[in-house]
Amino acid sequence: MSQLYRSTISSRLSTLQEPPAEEGENDDELEDSLGSLPSVMDLPFHRSGLSQNRAKKTPNPAYAPISPAGYFAQALQVSLPDRGIDVRAYYTPPRSERGGVFVMHHGAGYSGASFACLARELVQLMKGEVGVLAFDARRHGKTTAIASDEDLSMNVLVDDLCAFIQKVFPDPSTSPVFMLVGHSMGGSAVVHASPKLQELKYVISGVAVLDVVEGTAMEALPHMHALLNTRPEGFDSIEEAIEWHVNTHAINNPTSARISVPSILVPRDSSLSPRTRANGSFEYRWRTPLRSTAPYWESWFASLSSLFLSIRTARLLVLAGAERLDTPLMIGQMQGKFWLEVMSDRGVGHLVHEDDPTRLAEILSDFWRKNERLEVRGTVIKRVGER
């Protein structure tokens, strides 16, 4: 989160360049249960407090939304009545039943669609040996509430993740081997969920945490409200929102922004539109206003480092820059307890999986193969995730 804070503030001072227009990739919606994926919604940029007497901006076709349909094989609606939510998920299954599945948990304010480019890169790089399953957490993306979904504390998010996996793969003895991948808040969620899933007899090959460190995240929390003050309250079109994310370097990959940004906004008259003080003149609002999640910030990151080092599986930490590791992670790294990758030479920001999905897919592929099962004459002597 400190990387997010620093990169966002610095980006306001930098000279912005217009990204090149992307070739038309307006894939049709995923057929199945995709329903109304945002495909032609609209968004523009306005700072807080400037909602009155502003000229509406004509949508720029260079930032037209791209459907996730070309990046995942299918979309699912997974009902979890005991959790009070109906989960939107995106899935590309592995080529064979013996393949593994990367389960991906997004960060606060984002959605499963933020992993679209990474999902396609991984599946292509590993030739279908693994699948990718990404989903929208409660109060995010296209996941809807059966009951109240206000509580975003870490325990609730972890229980949601475990219930989701149990629903999609009900039999641990026949389920794929999993690699858990989480960005920021989602990184903490997968760290907490790993031992719970292992207790349920699921095999976890490893846990990959993307751009979050407990020490720097906790230090950044007092500054988060100031950071959020720099964000617009809403947009007039989806195109405007995508352009804002690219121009502020919140997302450095225009293609990924065109896929992921539509899923983190809702039309003002949508049933998913949050009840906030945001001026009603904006056509689109944040699906998850981050200021409303403030009561849960500390629960997301407290004890993350010690938990990460204690999980009984392979561990990978990927950072956008050479941040200062906190003391537990520094000691753990010196002792070789986890694999560390720093992508500072790749021009990435906090959203490492969106900014450079190709390089991250290579890292995750190497991490997977390093922890593959071993078989001798057809007999499994070590499964992925077992020590």
Rounded CA-CA distance 253/351 in Å is 10
DSSP single-letter state for residue 15:
P
Instruction: Give the residue from 66, 64, 62 showing the smallest Cα distance to 25.
Output: 66
User: What is each CA distance from 261 to 51, 98, 284, 299, in whole angstroms?
Assistant: 21, 34, 11, 26
Instruction: Give the residue from 47, 36, 52, 45 showing the smallest Cα distance to 236.
Output: 45
Residue pair 81/105 in contact (Cβ under 8 Å)? The answer is no
Catalytic residues: 184, 211, 350
Torsion of CA 291, 295, 299, 305, to 10 degrees: 40
| Residue 268 CB contacts under 8 Å (≥ 6 apart), including other chains | 234, 280, 282, 283, 284, 285
The sign of the torsion formed by the CA atoms of 297, 300, 306, 309 equals negative
Buried b (16+ CB within 10 A) or exposed e, 275-294: eeebbeebbbbbbbbeeebe
| Residue 274 CB contacts under 8 Å (≥ 6 apart), including other chains | 266, 285, 286, 287, 288, 289, 292
Residue 89 forms beta bridges with which residues?
76, 135
DSSP single-letter state for residue 12:
T
Residue pair 318/341 in contact (Cβ under 8 Å)? The answer is yes
Rounded CA-CA distance 64/376 in Å is 52
52: how many CB neighbours lie within 10 A of its CB? 8
> Packing angle between helix 116-125 and helix 357-370, nearest 10 degrees?
50
Establish how many alpha carbons lie within 13 A of residue 311's alpha carbon, considering only the half-sphere containing its beta carbon.
31
